[in-house]
Amino acid sequence: MEAVLPPPSCKSSTDLRCHLFSASSSVFSSRRSLLRKKTLVFSVRKHRSTTFTTLSVRCSSSSHGPSSSSSSNAAGGWDDDDCKYLEAHVVDAVSLLPFQGHLFMTLSDGGEVEIDHVNPPKGPLLFRSRNPTIFLRVVSDTDLILPIIVGDTAIDMLMNALHGEEKVVRPNQYHIMRDLVGSLDFEVRMVRITERVNDTYVARIYIGKPGETEMQSVDARPSDAVNLAVRCKVPIFVHKDIILTDAVIPIVAQRQATDVASNSRSGHDLDIPRSGKDLLSEELTLVKNMLLAVVEERYFDAARWRDELRSFRSERSR
């Protein structure tokens, strides 16, 4: 589900771009060394509704000097369109699961969170089985999440890095990428998810020399870019247009946003107690696990999930 644009051929063995990732790079040369935060307001269509909700999100923008150019840089350098990128963090989740017309985000601890598209696709869901997925949550109060389907190895390595559980005798490819950049007296500054071409996302990795403002960027697969960003502890940015078209949002968060006022007025918390525990989500997870076990003819597991569901409902009714 992801691909990388083919790099150009190297003309010189001493070319810095050849030493890095054999990809094209771009340079921005202005006095834009610090990131500052701005507020960007845009509208997102709600599922099964003709109304629009105004969302306030934070995006990254550079401090422009007098020589800044307003034109877009095709190679991905800093420009006046920086505010089209939104900062995002990696969610501690591992896969996307379609089930009976619904979508679930599987957390690394085995929990399930039902999600829905901000802009629902026309027709049935394209996914038929569980897919290893990287989830990037926009840094804002909107709960918008971008799912990027990747390979099993990429998500396993990402979770190991995220949890600090990398115990390898020899370095993996991301350690090599990080060390290679450092050996050439460069450092990784950030990564961007720049666009989607058909069903493929494209990312860029930005590097620069310590103490200097100039940066160069190279094409990369999102899975490689995000894995490298986590290990180098640098920010991840996603283009706003991708968020508008492809983002999902937890259904629980939607319900909390619409029902919190009525719940507080009535004095009843319904399925969302003050402790913050989502009882409805837990019940849905148990039901889904039971039905999935039946479909896969794992009847022993189905009976176990049935007993857990009965116990859960019994405790909930007390």
Return the residue matching tokens 């259904």: 251
Prediction pTM value = 0.59
The larger pLDDT score, comparing residue 209 to residue 80, is at: 209
Q: Compute the C-alpha angle 13/17/22, nearest 5°.
A: 85
What are the backbone angles phi and psi of residue 83, rounded to the nearest 5°? -75, 0
DSSP letter (8 states) at residue 83: G
Ranking 118-122, 233-237, 245-249 by mean pLDDT, the lowest is 118-122
Whether the predicted pLDDT of 69 surpasses 50: no
Ranking 39-43, 65-69, 150-154, 164-168 by mean pLDDT, the lowest is 65-69
Two tokens, residue 135: 């989830």
Per the document, the length of the chain is 318
Mean pLDDT score, 15-41: 38
pLDDT in tens, 255-296: 544 444 444 444 444 333 444 456 666 777 777 777 777 777
pLDDT recorded at residue 236:
96
Type of residue found at 154:
A
pLDDT in tens, 5-21: 344 444 443 444 444 33
Q: Phi/psi class of residue 274: alpha, beta or left (left: φ > 0; alpha: ψ in -120 to 50)?
A: alpha
Q: Name which of 39, 76, 88, 89 is nearest 61 in CA terms.
A: 39
Whether the predicted pLDDT of 173 surpasses 60: yes
Return the residue matching tokens 């020899």: 170
pLDDT recorded at residue 67:
31
Q: How far is CA 304 from CA 79, 112, 291, 294, 312, in A?
A: 57, 18, 12, 11, 12
Type of residue found at 230:
V
| Cβ-Cβ contacts under 8 Å for 219 (sequence gap 6 or more) | 4, 5, 7, 21, 23, 24, 202, 203, 204
Two tokens, residue 225: 């870019």
